[in-house]
Amino acid sequence: MAIPNMRIPSRQLFIDGEWREPVKKNRLPVINPATEEIIGDIPASTAEDVDIAVKAARRALGRNDWGSTTGAQRAKYLRAIAAKVLEKRPELATLETIDNGKPWFEAASDIDDVVACFEYYADLAEALDSKSKTEVKLHLDSFKTHVYKEPLGVVGLITPWNYPLLMTTWKVAPALAAGCAAVLKPSELASITSLELGEICREVGLPPGALNILTGLGHEAGSPLVSHPDVDKIAFTGSGPTGIKIMTAAAQLVKPVTLELGGKSPLVVFDDIPNIDIAVEWTLFGCFWTNGQICSATSRLIIQDTIASQFLDRLLEWTKNIKISDPLEEDCKLGPVISRGQYEKVLKLISTAKNEGATILYGGERPQHLKKGYYIQPTIITDVDTSMEIWKEEVFGPVLCVKTFKTEEEAIELANDTKYGLGAAILSKDLERCERFTKAFQSGIVWINCSQPCFWQPPWGGKKRSGFGRELGEWSLENYLNIKQVTQYVSDEPWAFYKSPSKL
């Protein structure tokens, strides 16, 4: 395994199938969050580079080597990408870890999911060939209608830093499967593996311009991509405030968007859970996985008062047993958050909660044995009021807040007491109760007797301020398809809407 301060591959922007220096030749430092050391740099693109990349994508749509491909032909490229990612799994996982800070085994698991995702969308690309033209039955025999599913066009893909290569794949794989040409702008806080995807695409011979990758700051690269008149759609995963800006800019051109934004998901635990340790582990996993930096994190524990004391005692024992270390160390279960800015934000939210009267039951500080890196202890906060910021706002760090309830009605009210609506979970052996809560939760995802499992086959997305549209499964492929109605008049009789002029 690579050492923590290894330097990253030096890359340029990936445009039109080639590595290209940014027009303004600027670069951004890459900081390892575990050591706070600069380990390399990435190119910083600007509006000029965005324009070049969009033009390359538009040309790709007009060429036979990409724009006229069948789903089966595109599937071959997707499977080749999957095979190359698998071949480079150890290297990619290490790059992900030193760039993002997540434990290496988590990063390696993400790479496995990347492989599976590309293979899954290869299958869907092949299946698309038989579904691209569908007849629609009409009530009039004088007409025939069919519907074409065709690539939407040039799509802009903007991805976050918590699952760098995996979130990139969630968008790139279905976009390419649909036959679109894409311009990807990954987060400037974690771009390394997205750039390595460019090298993989070059190695497998993906047609030039089908995928272009621009790293850089949001206001310098992301904003010009969103507002570019030749970009047909934007798919964004990230923060709510940025999502609002993207939606506003896209509206000026009536450009469709899909938004997967933040969350403040509830985990409701009833006193009939058959095994307290199983419930405790799902509680930890739901909030502390990926260093707590998950948009769907079940960071609001809502527990029945009859077992609250016993449950919290056991939760503390499990939490104290979590290994916090350099994420490249074996059996690390909690690494650093992504950046100094995020580190300071999380600590400030914890401090504010304490000042507002909440109790820091555990954690809330830097681990004493780690003097460098953006590490924060897993934190459990009790005596929380629903008016507190820690209850209302997304923390995006290893912080769990706790409230108790007496009745189902109270639990549902607490669960839905949020402007977000991404995920929600319930732990109970009463499956009829679980079904009631499934219907009552105001969310796009529900977990029953678990929290945070994610698969590439079902849809992923939320409601309310967690955004709209769905990633993954067949639903994601639909994001990148245009539905075209074609109607033909097949009668030999005149339409006879207008009166015929007299014959001479």
CATH number of the domain bearing residue 365: 3.40.309.10
How far apart are alpha carbons 12 and 22 in whole angstroms?
7
CB-CB contact of 320 with 284 (8 Å): no
- Cβ neighbours of residue 207 closer than 8 Å, sequence gap 6 or more: 17, 60, 63, 65, 66, 77
pLDDT tens across 329-359, in order? 999 999 999 999 999 999 999 999 999 999 9
Q: Is residue 504 part of a domain?
A: no
Residue % of the chain over a pLDDT of 90: 97
154 and 37 share a domain?
Answer: yes
Q: What is the pLDDT of residue 7?
A: 73
pLDDT tens across 219-275, in order? 999 999 999 999 999 999 999 999 999 999 999 999 999 999 999 999 999 999 999
Q: What is the pLDDT of residue 502?
A: 73
Q: How confident is the model at residue 45 (pLDDT cuts 50, 70, 90)?
A: very high
- Cβ neighbours of residue 191 closer than 8 Å, sequence gap 6 or more: 30, 42, 99, 164, 215
- Cβ neighbours of residue 161 closer than 8 Å, sequence gap 6 or more: 100, 186, 187, 189, 190, 338
78 and 199 share a domain?
Answer: yes
Is the CA virtual torsion 439, 443, 449, 455 positive or negative? positive
Average pLDDT over residues 377-393: 97
Check pLDDT > 70 for residue 138.
Answer: yes
Q: What is the pLDDT of residue 500?
A: 86
User: What stretches of 275-320 show up as alpha helix (H) in DSSP?
Assistant: 276-288, 308-320
Q: Is residue 68 part of a domain?
A: yes
Average pLDDT over residues 405-413: 98
Residue % of the chain over a pLDDT of 70: 98
205 and 289 share a domain?
Answer: no
pLDDT tens across 267-282, in order? 999 999 999 999 999 9
Q: What is the pLDDT of residue 4?
A: 46
Average pLDDT over residues 279-306: 98
How far apart are alpha carbons 330 and 320 in whole angstroms?
18
Q: Is residue 1 part of a domain?
A: no
225 and 337 share a domain?
Answer: no
User: Longest Cα pair distance anywhere in the chain, in angstroms?
Assistant: 102
Q: Is residue 136 part of a domain?
A: yes
Catalytic residue numbers? 260
Q: What would the two tokens of residue 457 be?
A: 């086959």
Q: What is the pLDDT of residue 6?
A: 66
92 and 168 share a domain?
Answer: yes
CATH number of the domain bearing residue 144: 3.40.605.10
423 and 361 share a domain?
Answer: yes
First to last CA, the chain: 91
The residue behind tokens 């490249």 is 328
Q: What is the pLDDT of residue 2?
A: 44
Report the predicted TM-score, pTM, of the whole model to 2 decimal places.
0.96
Domain residues for 427?
266-448
Q: Is residue 359 part of a domain?
A: yes
- Cβ neighbours of residue 62 closer than 8 Å, sequence gap 6 or more: none
Number of domain units in the chain: 2
Q: What would the two tokens of residue 291 be?
A: 């260093």
CA gyration radius, the chain: 25
170 and 25 share a domain?
Answer: yes
pLDDT tens across 47-89, in order? 999 999 999 999 999 999 999 999 999 999 999 999 999 999 9
pLDDT tens across 163-220, in order? 999 999 999 999 999 999 999 999 999 999 999 999 999 999 999 999 999 999 999 9
